[in-house]
Structure 1
Amino acid sequence: MGHTIASLFSHATDVAPDAPALISGRDVLSYRELDSVSRSLAAAMRRRGVRPGDRVLLIMERAPEAVVSMLAALLCGAVYVPLDKALPAEQIRAIIADCAPRLIVAAEGSAQIVSGTISYNDLLREGADDRADPSPSPGHADAAAYIMYTSGSTGQPKGVVVPHRGIIRLVIGCDYADLGPNETILQFAPLAFDASTLEIWGALLNGGRLVFVPGDNPSLDDIADVIAEHRVTTLWLTAGLFHVMIDQRLDALKPLRQLLAGGDVLSPSHVQRALRQLPGCRLINGYGPTENTTFTCCYTIPADYVGGPVPIGTPINGTSVHILDDQLQPVPDGELGQLCTGGAGVALGYLNRPDLTAEKFVSPPHMPGERLYLTGDLARRRADGVIEFAGRIDRQVKINGKRIELDAIEAALQNTANVRDGVAIVLQDGSGAKSIAAYVTLLNPQADGVAQIRAALQRHLPTYMVPSHITVLDALPLTANGKVDRKHLPDPRAAASQPIRLAAAPGNALEQDITRVWRRILARDHIDRDDNFFDLGATSLQVMAAHAEIARLPGVSVQLTDLFAHSNVAALTRHLTALNSAGPVVREDAAVRARRGQEAAARMRAARMRGVS
C-alpha cells in the first residue's frame, strides 16, 4: 500500500505534537492542534457523504484554513482540488463540471462565488462534536491526492491528477534541498499553483514550520516583513518575482538558508547579484512541469558561477530523465532532444481526458515497465550529466511561473466579436522579462476596438493570459506560403514610445516622479497622466516593482492596493497627495495591509465573478 500524506503527517505529529506547524501573523497552530481540527473537519466531510476517491473543491487563498481542508479531505481518502477564484466565470464553471466535486468548501467571503458551497467555518462547526472514525481512511501511494488545473491549448483548463507517491517523492528524503524540523518555509504560492505542494508538504511531512504571507495581493514589503518576523529559512519564488526581489528588496532575503527559484529561465545577472549578496544562502534553480509533481530537476548554483544560461541540473530522487528524439529514442549527450521524465512523480494523467493522457504519458517499447511524461521541452545533457534547458517544442510558454498556451489566446481572439484574425506572440526585454503581445485585424475598425477586445478577453481568459499589448493592423504579415510571419510583426513597445495624441504634461514633483517610475518599469518613453497602467500592459510583478520604488520616494506612504485602486498617474498622485498631507506618515502593519489587500482583491474580482452559478 505504501505511505500516504495523511499517514506521514500523523507520524510527524507523533514525533513532535507540540511543535509549531502553521503560523499566520500572531496565530500559531501546533501539530497536535492541526491534527485535531483536521480530524473534526474530516468527520463533517464524511457526514456530508465524502468517501475515498471523491473530490473536494477548495475555494480558498493561502491560509491555515486551506491546509486544514486539504488534510481533512486526505483523511477521508478523498482528492482535494484547489480552485483559482480569479479565473473567469466560464472557466470556473467548466472546472466544476469537469471534476464533479462531492463537496465545495469556501473560505469566508468566497462562498458566493458558486452555488452549493459550504463555508469552512460552517463545516467546522458541524464537525466540532463529531470525531467518529478519527483514523485516516486506508489508502495507498498510487491513489490520487490532488488535482490541479493548467491551461490547455483550446482555452479549457485540464486537470492534472497527482498521486500521493508524487508528493512523497518530492519532499521525503529529497536531495535538492534540506527539508526538516529546523526549517521555516514560507507559504507564498497560490494554492492552485503546484509550488504550493512543495511549500505545504515540504514543511508538514518533515516536522517543519509553515508561515503564511497575509492577503491576496502581498507587496514586497509584506514578504520582507514575514521573512524577518518569523525567521523564514526556505523560500520558493517564481523566476519573475526572484528578479523583482533581487532588484528591489535583496536585503530582505539575507535571513534565508535556501532560496529556490524557477518556473522560467533565470537571469544570469540577477543570479550573480544574489550569490554575491547572499553568501550564506543556497541558491537552487528548480525545473519541472505540474505533470511530474513540481520538480523534475534541480541545480544548486555554485558560488563561482560566472554567467551564462543557468542549467536545470540533474533529476531529483525518485526521478528519471531521458533526452529523446522524435521516435522516442535516446540522443547522444550534447545533442538536443525532448526532455521526458519518469519515476514516482509522474501524474496519473488528465482527468476525463484519456486521449490527451495517452498522447502525453507513454511507455516506450525499449523502456519496459517505465511510464514517461513527454514534457514538450527541449534540453541537452552535458558530459557531466547536468541538463540544460533549451526552450519549447510547441507554442507553450511560461511567464511568471504560469503556463500559457499561445494557441488558447489566439483562439479567444478569433472568437471575439469584430476580430477578423488574431495572433499572439511573446516579447522579451533586455532584463529577460516576458509579456504577451496580440495583433488583430478588425471587421469594422473603430476607435475603441482595442478596449472592447481587452474587455472580451478578460471575460474568457485568466488575467495572466490577457495580452499586455494589443495592436490593430490593416493586415497580418504573411510568409511566402501564406502563413502569418510572426518575425515581421511590429514591436508594440516601439510604437508606444511615440505619442499618438497631445499629452497632458505631468504636474507637480510627485506626479513627475511617479511618471518616471512607470516609464522605466514599462520601458516606455511616453506615458500620459491618464493612461491606465494595466491597459499599458502592466503585470502584477511590475505593479509590485513600481510600488517598491514609489514607496521609497521622500515623504510618501503608499500601499500596493493603492496602485490597483488608482491605476493611472494622475489618480494615484491625487490620492497620495491627499493621503500624505492629512497627517504624519504611519506605516500600516502587515495585518492591516492584508485586510486592505483582501478588500481590493474582492472589488477587482466582483465583476469577473458575476454570473457564476
Structure 2
Amino acid sequence: MTIHSLVHQHAVTSPDLPAVSGPDGTLSYRRLDAAAEAVAVRLRELPTATAVVLVDLPASVRRAAVLLGVLRAGRAYAVADPGWPRELRAEITELLGIGLTLTDAGGGAPGTWAPPSTEELLAAPDAPAPEPGDEDAPACLLFTSGTTGTPKAVVCPHRGVTRMFHPDPLIGFADRPVVPQLAQLQWDMGNYELWGALVAGGTALITADPYVTPDVMTRMVKERGADNLFITTALFNLLVDEGVGCFSGLKYVTTGGERVSVPHMRRFLDEHPDTVLICAYGPVENTMLTSVHPVVRADFEDPHGVPIGLPVPGTEVFVLDERRRECPPGTPGELYTAGAGVALGYVGRPELAAERFVDLEVGGAVRRLYRTGDKVLTGEDGLLRYVGRTDRQVKIRGQRIELDGVEAALGRLAGVHTVAVREARDASGSVVGITAYYVTDPAEPVEPVDLFRAARAALPSSHMPSRFLPVESMPMTARGKVDHQALEAL
C-alpha cells in the first residue's frame, strides 16, 4: 500500500488522535488528511508540478502536511538542504528535473508555489479517500554522499517505506509510537521518523531546535511524551557522554549508521535497564533500514561486536563471496539486499545504478539485489555481524588492511569511548600509515602512549596506527556520522 492511503486509514479509524505536533500546532489524523488533500488538489492544477517537486520549507506541522499532499497528488518529493550553496542547489534541481519548488521564499516567481498556511490547512474540509496509487511508484528522493561532491539522489518507492510499519511493524511501532523527528528530511532517517510514526498510527513530534542536546531530549520526553527514538551512533555516544539521563522515560532507543560503541551501550543499559536498545543497520538504497537487533549484554562479549541483527519486514539478505556464491555461516562476504525495500535506482547515474543494483539468481530464484559494499558474516544464530567496508581497505607496505577492523579493535580497549582511523599519506599521496583519533573520559584520560601499548596487544604490527591523537569530540557530518574528512584538519 502507499504511504498516503495508510495514513488515510488512520484518519478513518482514529480521526481525533494527534498525528503531527510541532512549533506551529497539532494536527489530528482527520485534519492532517484534510490538509494533505487541500495541497494535493492545488498541485494537480499546477502545470509546473513535475513528477518530482522540491520542498523548501522549515520544519513544521505544515511541512508534514505538504509532503503528504505531494504524495496524494501522485508526485514524489525531494527536500532541500538549507546548507546547499546556490550552485549546488541549481545543479541538483536540474539533475532531478524539478519544475516546481514549494517555498515561501519564491515571491511568486515562476516555478515556485507557497502552500497554504497552517491556519488555512486547519480549516480544510474533510478529505475523501485517496486514489490507492501504486506502491511501486517513487515516494521520495533521499540523498546520500557522492564521490564527486554532488549528493546522490536515491529514488525510494512507497513500498520501501511502508514495509517496515505495515502490516508487520518493526519493534517499537506496534503501539502508536510517539517519535521525535530529529534528523533532516533530505536524509533517510528523517523520513523514517516521520512516516514511521504516521504509517504506524502514532505521533510525529517536530522540533525547531537546530541541535540535539541533553536538554532538548529531556524536553522531548518529559514535556512532549516521546517514547521511541532513532539517533545516529555518533550522536548517541555524545549524549551518553554529556548526559545519559536525558534518555529517561523512552521505551525504545534505536541507534545506527556506524559501528556502535560497546562502552556507550553498556553505560546506557546500566542507566536505563528497562529501555529497549536497538542496533540498526541499513543503507539508503534499501530504503532506510535493512536489519535490527535488540541489544543484550551478552552481545558485548561477541568478538565481532554487537550484531546488526535480522532483516526488517519485507527484506531478504544474502552474504555472497567475490564469485557471488552464498557464504556459509562464519565466513565474511559482501551483503546484498532484496525485497520491497530495494530502491528504484539513482537519478542521472545509470552506470552507477547498473553497478550497484543487479539481477542475480540466488536463493533459488532470480532477484533484484542491491550491493551494499559492506562486509558481513552470519553467525550460527542467524544474526548478521558487521565486519567492515569493502572500500575502506588500504595497502601499506604491501599489506592489505581493513580500516574498519582497526577501528573495531581499538574501540574495545579500556578507556576508549569513540575511535576513528584514517590512512596517513605522504606528499605524493601514497598511504604510509594509519592515524587513530580517539575520545576518552576527561576524568580518567588515556594518554597516547598508554593506548599505543594497549593496541600492540590487540593488533598485528602491520595494522598498528603510527599516531594516536586524543580529541575532545568527534566531528560529525550533517547526517550525524563521524566526519572522517574533518578529522584530517584536527
Alignment of 1:351-366 (within 5 A): 351-366=347-362
Aligned to 1:18: 16
Aligned to 2:152: 158
Aligned to 2:95: 98
User: Are 2:235 and 1:241 equivalent residues in the alignment?
Assistant: yes
Pairwise CA distance, 1:181? 4.7
Aligned to 1:278: 272
Q: Cα gap change, 1:236/1:61 in structure 2, threshold over 3 Å: closer, same or farther? A: farther
Q: Cα gap change, 1:115/1:49 in structure 2, threshold over 3 Å: closer, same or farther? A: closer
User: Are 2:310 and 1:314 equivalent residues in the alignment?
Assistant: yes
2:176–2:197 contact (8 Å) kept in structure 1: no
Aligned to 1:609: none
User: Are 2:417 and 1:431 equivalent residues in the alignment?
Assistant: yes
- Structure 1 length as normaliser, TM-score? 0.64
1:85–1:92 contact (8 Å) kept in structure 2: no
Q: Cα gap change, 1:319/1:209 in structure 2, threshold over 3 Å: closer, same or farther? A: same
Letter in 1 for 2:94: A
1:41–1:123 contact (8 Å) kept in structure 2: no
User: Are 2:192 and 1:192 equivalent residues in the alignment?
Assistant: no
Pairwise CA distance, 1:129? 9.4
1:261-313 Cα deviation digits (max 9, x unpaired): 00011100111111111111111001000010111111111255444511101
User: Are 2:57 and 1:60 equivalent residues in the alignment?
Assistant: yes
Aligned to 1:528: none
Alignment of 1:126-141 (within 5 A): 135-141=129-135
Aligned to 2:47: 49
Q: Cα gap change, 1:212/1:492 in structure 2, threshold over 3 Å: closer, same or farther? A: closer
1:324-381 Cα deviation digits (max 9, x unpaired): 0112111111011000010111001111222221111111134533111000000000
Q: How many residues align?
A: 435
1:43–1:132 contact (8 Å) kept in structure 2: no
Pairwise CA distance, 1:28? 1.7
SS state of the match for residue 18, structure 1?
A: coil
Aligned to 1:385: 382
Q: Cα gap change, 1:249/1:117 in structure 2, threshold over 3 Å: closer, same or farther? A: farther
Pairwise CA distance, 1:138? 4.7
Distance 1:382 1:164 in 2: 32
Alignment of 1:306-455 (within 5 A): 306-308=300-302, 309-366=305-362, 367-395=364-392, 430-434=416-420
Q: Cα gap change, 1:181/1:297 in structure 2, threshold over 3 Å: closer, same or farther? A: closer
Q: Cα gap change, 1:492/1:172 in structure 2, threshold over 3 Å: closer, same or farther? A: closer
Alignment of 1:430-509 (within 5 A): 430-434=416-420, 475-476=427-428, 484-487=430-433
Aligned to 1:599: none
Aligned to 1:119: 114
Pairwise CA distance, 1:253? 0.7
SS state of the match for residue 170, structure 1?
A: coil
1:213–1:222 contact (8 Å) kept in structure 2: no
Distance 1:215 1:170 in 2: 27
Q: Larger % of helix: which? A: 1
Q: Cα gap change, 1:296/1:435 in structure 2, threshold over 3 Å: closer, same or farther? A: same
Aligned to 1:222: 216
SS state of the match for residue 40, structure 1?
A: helix
1:293–1:346 contact (8 Å) kept in structure 2: yes
Pairwise CA distance, 1:132? 12
Distance 2:231 2:36 in 1: 28
Q: Cα gap change, 1:491/1:230 in structure 2, threshold over 3 Å: closer, same or farther? A: closer
Letter in 1 for 2:64: V
Letter in 1 for 2:320: L
Letter in 1 for 2:370: Y
1:284–1:298 contact (8 Å) kept in structure 2: yes
1:32-77 Cα deviation digits (max 9, x unpaired): 11111111111221221366x7111112343212211110100101
Letter in 1 for 2:245: D
SS state of the match for residue 142, structure 1?
A: coil
Distance 1:209 1:435 in 2: 39
Q: Cα gap change, 1:10/1:122 in structure 2, threshold over 3 Å: closer, same or farther? A: closer
Pairwise CA distance, 1:438? 8.4
Letter in 2 for 1:487: G
- Structure 2 length as normaliser, TM-score? 0.79
Aligned to 2:164: 170
1:227–1:255 contact (8 Å) kept in structure 2: yes
1:245-269 Cα deviation digits (max 9, x unpaired): 1111211211010000000111001
Aligned to 1:40: 38
Aligned with 2:201 (options 192, 207, 211): 207
Q: Larger % of strand: which? A: 2
Distance 1:433 1:225 in 2: 30
Letter in 2 for 1:391: G
Aligned to 1:527: none
Distance 2:23 2:361 in 1: 54
Pairwise CA distance, 1:182? 3.3
Distance 1:537 1:256 in 2: 25
1:111–1:119 contact (8 Å) kept in structure 2: yes
Which moves more between the two structures, 339-348 or 165-174?
Answer: 165-174
Aligned to 1:288: 282
SS state of the match for residue 225, structure 1?
A: helix
Percent identity between the two aligned chains: 30
Distance 2:381 2:213 in 1: 41
Q: CA RMSD in A?
A: 3.6
1:507-559 Cα deviation digits (max 9, x unpaired): xxxxxxxxx98xx89x9xxxxxxxxxxxx9973599x9xxxxxxxxxxxxxxx
Structure 1 unpaired stretches of 5+: 397-424, 440-472, 478-483, 494-515, 524-535, 545-613
Letter in 2 for 1:247: D
Structure 2 unpaired stretches of 5+: 394-402, 449-471, 481-490
1:41–1:124 contact (8 Å) kept in structure 2: no
Distance 2:96 2:128 in 1: 27
Aligned to 1:539: 475
SS state of the match for residue 322, structure 2?
A: coil
Pairwise CA distance, 1:26? 7.8
